[in-house]
Amino acid sequence: MKLLNQFNFAGKRALIRVDFNVPLDKSFKVTDATRIRAALTTINKILADGGSVILMSHLGRPKGGYQEEFSLKHIVDDVAAAIGKSVKFADDCIGESAKTLAANLQAGEVLLLENLRFYKEEEKGDEAFAQKLAQLGDVYVNDAFGTAHRAHASTTIVAKFFQDRICGYLMQAEVENGKKVMSNPTKPFTAIMGGAKISDKILIIDNLLDKVDNLIIGGGMAYTFFKAMGGNIGNSLVEADKLELAKELIEKAKSKGVKLLLPVDSIVADAFKNEANRQEADNMNIPDGWMGLDIGSKAAKEYADVIANSKTILWNGPMGVFEMPNFAAGTIAVAKALVVATKNGGFSLIGGGDSAAAVNQLGFANDVSYVSTGGGALLEFMEGKVLPGVKALE
């Protein structure tokens, strides 16, 4: 794989796949520019070399054709502010405006193309569409790890039309940090899996059981385990069709010598809302009419102790409904324990999505080893799958 540092971009137009799928409010203002900032080191290196930059990305899930709320024109000012120079905008990603603007781009200039997903050919991985994109640049750079698990035209197919296919700094960091956890972890290695459903995490849990010393379970998925063990879980979330699977995972962990930690207690509520009545309950005996919405104080302490004494930690998924302040304590306790483990010389990888949001909201992003930008892509990487966007660069 060709890395950014191995290439001089002087006089070259670099076509870069970035992940600028950022959240916008009702007036189309960017509410979180993390993904834009994540691409800056790659963009700045190319500009410093004397190259020019053509940025391509998707935004949201448009239903074919132009849709105002998904136009990348709304983020031009944010991209310009982040880079510190003006950014040209093409109102198409393959038409005449894109071709003309790209052809006239001078060294040090930046062009942003319109949303790739306004063409259904993007997600279909259409070769003719990919070839039209390829005509805009001299070299191809992929820095969009968040979409690397999709064999789309701009993430995978376009690479075949370039002699120089280059891995951006963000993509490189994601792959290297992922490999550090999955291929060569310092022991003890603890994985923390949260979120609502076992079915979303079954493949990664299966793969992790061959690698970890401790597997911590939190979030809604925990109650399926307790139900499988014969517990009374009240109105807590349960996947009734996954009870046998939960039992199998418990047995598999035992047979592999993995310590499987389930939360002994929960903060339970009598309704799914922040203002609901709440109390602590043992997870084998949650009262009827009550539901678990966060791990309890005993579980939080046990988890924090295990995490703080670990040398490699992977965290994917919150411990409860952390967007409701009354049910955020478990997730906060886990985040603080990760900071402690990192200060003690451990390596901590936060796996995208809600976990990354929690760490960023709490202001801990600089106190852990690495916060991944790729939710689904990181999960598939951790499941041991080959990512098409990474393979296309090799």
User: Buried b vs exposed e over 25-59: b needs ≥16 C-beta within 10 Å?
Assistant: eeeeebeebebbebbeebbebbbebebbbbbbbbb
Residues 6+ positions from 321 with CB-CB distance below 8 Å: 272, 293, 294, 327, 328
The residue from 137, 353, 374, 389 that is catalytic is 353
Contact 310, 346 (CB under 8 A): yes
* Of 69, 125, 116, nearest in space to 93 by CA: 116
Q: Is 220 a catalytic residue?
A: no
Distance (Å, whole) CA 192 – CA 209: 12
197 is catalytic: yes
Q: Say which of 197, 259, 298, 385 is annotated catalytic.
A: 197
Locate 278 and state its tokens: 């709440």
Question: To the nearest 5 percent, what fractions of the chain are helix, strand and coil?
Answer: 40, 20, 40
User: Omega before 263 cis (within 30°)?
Assistant: no
353 tagged catalytic: yes
Q: How large is the greatest C-alpha to C-alpha distance in the chain, in angstroms? A: 69
Is residue 376 part of the annotated active site? The answer reads: yes
What is the SS3 assignment for 312?
A: strand
Query: Six-digit token pair at 222?
Result: 């925990």
Q: How many CB atoms lie within 10 A of CB 184?
A: 8
Per annotation, catalytic residue among 35, 201, 227, 278: 35
Do the beta carbons of residue 337 and residue 315 sit within 8 Å?
A: no
Rounded distance, CA 389 to CA 393, Å?
7
Alpha carbon 384 to its chain centroid, in Å, reads 16
Q: In the structure encoding, which two tokens stand for residue 119, read together?
A: 């063409």
> What are the residue numbers of the active site?
35, 197, 353, 376
